[in-house]
Amino acid sequence: MTKTNSTMFQFVIIFMLTLMIQLSDESEFLVDRSKTGLIHVPKDLSLKTTILNISQNYISELRTSDILSLSKLRILIISHNRIQYLDISVFQFNQELEYLDLSHNELEKISCHPTVNLRHLDLSFNAFDALPICKEIGNMSQLQFLGLSATQLQKSSVLPIAHLHINKILLVLGDSYGEKEEPESLQDLNTESLHIVFPTRKEYHFILDVSVSTAVSLELSNIKCVVNRCPYFLNVLSKLQKNSRLSSLTLNNIETDWYSFIMILQLVWHTSIEYFSISNVTLQGYPDFRDFDYSNTSLKALSVHQVVTNVFRFPQNYIYTIFSNMNIQNFTVSGTHMLHMVCPSQMSPFQHLDFSNNLLTDIVFNDCENLAKLKTLSLQMNQLKKLVNIAHMTKKMKSLQQLDISQNSLGYDKSEGYCPWAISLLSLNMSSNILTESVFRCLPPRVKILDLHSNKIKNIPKDITGLEDLQELNIASNDLAHLPGCGAFSSLSVLIIDNNAISNPSAHFFQSCQKIKSIKAGDNPFHCTCELREFIQSIGQVSSEVVEGWPDSYECDYPESYKGTLLKDFRVSPLSCSTALLMVTIGVIGLVLAVTVTVLCIYFDLPWYLRMVFQWTRTRRRARHIPSCELQKTFQFHAFISYSEHDSAWVKNELLPNLEKEGIQICLHERNFVPGKSIVENIINCIEKSYKSIFVLSPNFVQSEWCHYELYFAHHNLFHEGSNNLILILLEPIPKYSVPSSYHKLKSLMAQRTYLEWPKEKSKHGLFWANLRASILIKLMEQAKEIDHVHS
Ligand SMILES: *[C@@H]1O[C@H](CO)[C@@H](O)[C@H](O)[C@H]1NC(C)=O
Ligand SMILES: *[C@@H]1O[C@H](CO)[C@@H](O)[C@H](O)[C@H]1NC(C)=O
Ligand SMILES: *[C@@H]1O[C@H](CO)[C@@H](O)[C@H](O)[C@H]1NC(C)=O
Ligand SMILES: *[C@@H]1O[C@H](CO)[C@@H](O)[C@H](O)[C@H]1NC(C)=O
Ligand SMILES: *[C@@H]1O[C@H](CO)[C@@H](O)[C@H](O)[C@H]1NC(C)=O
Ligand SMILES: *[C@@H]1O[C@H](CO)[C@@H](O)[C@H](O)[C@H]1NC(C)=O
């Protein structure tokens, strides 16, 4: 079973590896050697190359041997080189080749080859005289793009490709075009989109008919007609009316006069064209003040981009009136020096107006009722100043949903009063202005998308109301110090607030903003302190897609030691952050300590140990540096032991063996009994022969034995207060009341508490004996020293 499984597993692995190799084989292998000063096709190309870019070099020749080995080559870009002649048969071994860009070379001639079947062939911007259309191109059944260039056009030269349906044809006419023109030469082109580039800087005197019947989209570049009001070009345009398929016209790089410009518009108005775009226009002269015929148009969208005019000293209202009354849906005028736009004189069909990048001021569309169908308006990059004026402007635009007034100099101050925004307004772009927090008192009530990035907002006022519909708020690149909650914006789902001055974002953000789907708060100067920890934790609790740019654009800015650390990697111990936790921890540790000490005291008698250890160490300290040979000089015994008969079992079984095994010599009055003497005499004899006197104290001892000693001590002042010669062992506790009041000595000795207590627990016995022996020996040593001292 296991064996078959592992075989299966190996098989799957091998299969997957094979698949991966095949897949990687099929993926593109791009070699970019553009702009490298090549004068030949490089020889060191990988055989895997599928895309080769050798554009912008100095290559003048392409040979079979250059590319023979590149059997996988699909895309070859040799534009902007110096190739003058090409035999397409050089590609006969590159069977995969489908995209060939030879534009911007110096080609005068090509020879074709039947086996090459391209999708994209660009021969534009070359030096061909006649169209470089050989009959083999007619066999390129896949051809989608064909770029051509010529200085002469002949109807016959187009025929080989007349049967192909090509998506786009680019035709670049050389500088000497127009000498022997055949107006009908393009009629047989079969293409959806035609782009003709006329010779630059050459007056438009052409009669070429550009209304190719198959074309849906037509683009004409470089039209210069500044003399005689452009009759040739207007004539060419008027022919477009024939072609009812044409729906899109683009004119680039036009140099003309105001009259012709209006005429161009007028002509296009009566064609089938729906989308008309004019860009890069240079205008001269003055317009003729004549009526514009708006009737019968197919036009839906007109765009005018980049207009430069050297004369604007005429009543411009004429132009503005023509523009504002256009009966189209979409109208764009951008990148012009347009100063104003008037209100349409009747209800306008305008739905989308883009007047970005002009010089419009606050009075634009002031009090204009006829833009009630307008849905979107862009006044981006103009000269707008007061937000309240713009709000007034929208008041009567009943359908306005989107307004872009970004990149102006808009400001708003509360004192400027109420902002009567169009109630329909849903999206408002006010980015890149000079608005402050007071803008929150001048917002459309139902706005859903609000872009306020790059302004001067320092905070979001707490008391704002009525933004329940707001879904997207971009307030990046302002001066906000705090992350706002969603109190005022209960529908907020997208918040962009990066590049502000937020150092301690609130951890309650996600609680407050239940509907948030995306927040982008990176690139703020985060202070990596305890408070931030909670915010980081709260990020950890939401799905990672919600926090945009996490973790890379969230870095600590402070303290210095954490600068540049990703918030993701910022760690600080919980203890150092929470005072409460710290107090609790200290409390708990204290409590544990107290309990331990108590337990030790109660169960293990810690004080006893401490006392013992204290005595032991004291004795040890004193014992240092005393030579042992000086011991046992004068006395016969080390110690005399006195005890009650009642305790004799303990003395004989415990005390004696433990002392004598260490070589301590003991005098016992019954053992070392001198016959013929009384007990007291014997005892005194023993005391006098011993360094030490050990008394084993117990209630019995106090009652039966101590009387001998009280008397003795009274006569011989041998044991003065604090004397070292006495060692008291407390075998059993002696209640104070049981000591007769006449025993002064005993009382004073016991009061000093210098006795050794006999512990009941076996585990403590070792320490007890050690301590006792040390006491005997140290006292011996000291005595020996003292004696020495006296003798010398
Ligand atoms: C080829 O290189 C030129 C110049 O670097 C570049 O502009 C062009 O986009 C490149 N073309 C492709 C398809 O990579
Ligand atoms: C074009 O292709 C057809 C058949 O596919 C072939 O008969 C004809 O010779 C080819 N013409 C040229 C010019 O290659
Ligand atoms: C605009 O058109 C002029 C000729 O009318 C041309 O010289 C210039 O390069 C064009 N500018 C752009 C950006 O196409
Ligand atoms: C408007 O177009 C229709 C057909 O499309 C035509 O019959 C009519 O004459 C045109 N009217 C004008 C004023 O051009
Ligand atoms: C008009 O402009 C709007 C917004 O830019 C666009 O969505 C729409 O497709 C345009 N309509 C036409 C007919 O170009
Ligand atoms: C607002 O306009 C700016 C350009 O000024 C643009 O980058 C931004 O995407 C626009 N915002 C929205 C929400 O469309």
Nearest-angstrom CA–CA distance, 631 and 786? 11
Nearest-angstrom CA–CA distance, 497 and 520? 6
pTM of the model: 0.72
The token duo for 640 is 């005399």
Q: What is the pLDDT of residue 117?
A: 86
Pairing state between β 248-257 and 191-197? unpaired
Of all ligands present, the nearest one to the C-alpha of 293 is: 4
Give the residues of the chain that fall short of pLDDT 70. 1-26, 312, 604, 608, 616, 618-634, 710-711, 713-724, 753, 778-792
Nearest-angstrom CA–CA distance, 381 and 363? 15
Q: What is the pLDDT of residue 161?
A: 92
Q: Rounded to the nearest 10 degrees, what angle do helices 679-689 and 706-715 cross at?
A: 60
| CA end-to-end distance (rounded Å), the chain | 100
Of all ligands present, the nearest one to the C-alpha of 447 is: 6
| Long-range contacts of 197-205, Cβ-Cβ distance < 8 Å, separation of 24 or more | 197/124, 197/170, 197/171, 197/172, 197/173, 197/221, 197/222, 198/173, 198/222, 198/223, 199/173, 199/174, 199/175, 200/175, 200/224, 200/253, 202/175, 202/178, 203/227, 204/230, 204/232, 204/233, 205/178, 205/232
How many angstroms is it from 172 CA to the middle of ligand 1? 21
CB 284 near ligand 3, within 6 Å: no
* Residue intervals in the chain for CATH 3.40.50.10140: 636-791
Q: What is the pLDDT of residue 613?
A: 72
Nearest CA to ligand 4 atom 3: 296
How many angstroms is it from 599 CA to the middle of ligand 4? 111
Nearest CA to ligand 3 atom 13: 280
Nearest CA to ligand 3 atom 10: 253
Number of the ligand 4 atom closest to the C-alpha atom of 293: 13
Share of the chain above pLDDT 90, in %: 46
The token duo for 401 is 């949903």
Q: What is the pLDDT of residue 625?
A: 46
Rounded alpha-carbon distances, angstroms, from residue 366 to 141, 214, 459, 694 = 58, 45, 32, 119
Nearest CA to ligand 6 atom 1: 429
Other beta carbons within 10 angstroms of residue 569's beta carbon come to 12
The closest of 483, 479, 485 to 513, measured between CA atoms, is 485
How many angstroms is it from 332 CA to the middle of ligand 4? 26
Of all ligands present, the nearest one to the C-alpha of 298 is: 4
To 10 degrees, the CA torsion angle through 366, 372, 377, 382? -10
Q: What is the pLDDT of residue 619?
A: 64
Testing ligand 3's pocket by substitution, the residue of 253, 304, 310 carrying the most ligand atoms inside 8 A of its CB is 253
Fold of 636-791: Rossmann fold (3.40.50)
Length of the chain: 792
Distance from chain centroid for Cα 446: 32
Q: What is the pLDDT of residue 217?
A: 96
CB 300 near ligand 5, within 6 Å: yes
CB 770 near ligand 6, within 6 Å: no
Maximum CA extent, the chain: 169
Number of the ligand 2 atom closest to the C-alpha atom of 134: 13
CB 88 near ligand 2, within 6 Å: no
Residue 225 near residue 196 (C-beta atoms within 8 A): no
Nearest-angstrom CA–CA distance, 212 and 149? 17
Q: Is 270 helix (H, G, I), strand (E, B) or coil?
A: coil
Residue 256 near residue 281 (C-beta atoms within 8 A): yes
To 10 degrees, the CA torsion angle through 469, 470, 472, 473? 180
Q: Where are the beta strands (DSSP E) in 187-329?
A: 191-197, 217-224, 248-257, 275-284, 301-309
Q: Domain 1-202 is in which class?
A: alpha beta
Backbone φ, ψ for residue 778 (5° rounding): -65, -40
CB 456 near ligand 5, within 6 Å: no
Residues in CB range of 594: below 8 A, 6 or more apart: none
pLDDT in tens, 60-114: 999 998 888 898 999 999 999 999 999 988 998 898 999 999 999 999 999 988 8
Of all ligands present, the nearest one to the C-alpha of 244 is: 4
Backbone φ, ψ for residue 723 (5° rounding): -65, 150
Q: What is the pLDDT of residue 23?
A: 46
Pairing state between β 690-697 and 518-520? unpaired
CB 139 near ligand 2, within 6 Å: yes
Burial of 735 (0-12, 13-18, 19+ CB in 10 A): exposed
SS3 annotation, 601-641:
HHHHCHHHHHHHHHHHHHHHHHHCCCCHHHCCCCCCEEEEE
Enclosing H/E stretch for 258 = helix 258-269
How many angstroms is it from 280 CA to the middle of ligand 3? 6
Nearest-angstrom CA–CA distance, 335 and 277? 13
Other beta carbons within 10 angstroms of residue 309's beta carbon come to 17
Nearest CA to ligand 6 atom 10: 429
Nearest-angstrom CA–CA distance, 563 and 243? 67
Nearest CA to ligand 1 atom 2: 34
Nearest-angstrom CA–CA distance, 520 and 547? 6
Nearest-angstrom CA–CA distance, 97 and 410? 56
Nearest CA to ligand 2 atom 14: 114
Residue 87 near residue 110 (C-beta atoms within 8 A): yes
Nearest-angstrom CA–CA distance, 87 and 774? 117
Provide DSSP, 741-773. TT-HHHHHHHHHT-PEEPPSSGGGHHHHHHHHH
| Long-range contacts of 109-113, Cβ-Cβ distance < 8 Å, separation of 24 or more | 109/84, 109/85, 110/85, 110/86, 110/134, 111/86, 111/87, 112/88, 112/136, 112/137, 113/87, 113/88, 113/89
How many angstroms is it from 291 CA to the middle of ligand 4? 18
How many angstroms is it from 407 CA to the middle of ligand 3? 26
Residues in CB range of 424: below 8 A, 6 or more apart: 397, 398, 399, 400, 401, 446
* Residue intervals in the chain for CATH 3.80.10.10: 1-202
Nearest CA to ligand 2 atom 3: 139
Q: Is 439 helix (H, G, I), strand (E, B) or coil?
A: helix
| Long-range contacts of 547-552, Cβ-Cβ distance < 8 Å, separation of 24 or more | 547/519, 547/520, 547/521, 548/496, 548/518, 548/519, 548/520, 548/522, 549/498, 549/520, 549/522, 549/523, 550/522, 552/522
Nearest-angstrom CA–CA distance, 523 and 555? 7
Q: What is the pLDDT of residue 727?
A: 81
The closest of 171, 215, 170, 208 to 190, measured between CA atoms, is 215
Residue 117 near residue 141 (C-beta atoms within 8 A): yes
Side chain identity, residue 665? Q
Residues in CB range of 231: below 8 A, 6 or more apart: none
Count helices and strands (H / E) in the chain.
19, 30
DSSP state of 569: G
The closest of 526, 531, 520, 418 to 477, measured between CA atoms, is 520
HSE-CB at 605 with a 13 A cutoff on CA atoms is 14
Q: Rounded to the nearest 10 degrees, what angle do helices 765-791 and 606-623 cross at?
A: 30
How many angstroms is it from 296 CA to the middle of ligand 4? 6
Backbone φ, ψ for residue 765 (5° rounding): -60, -40
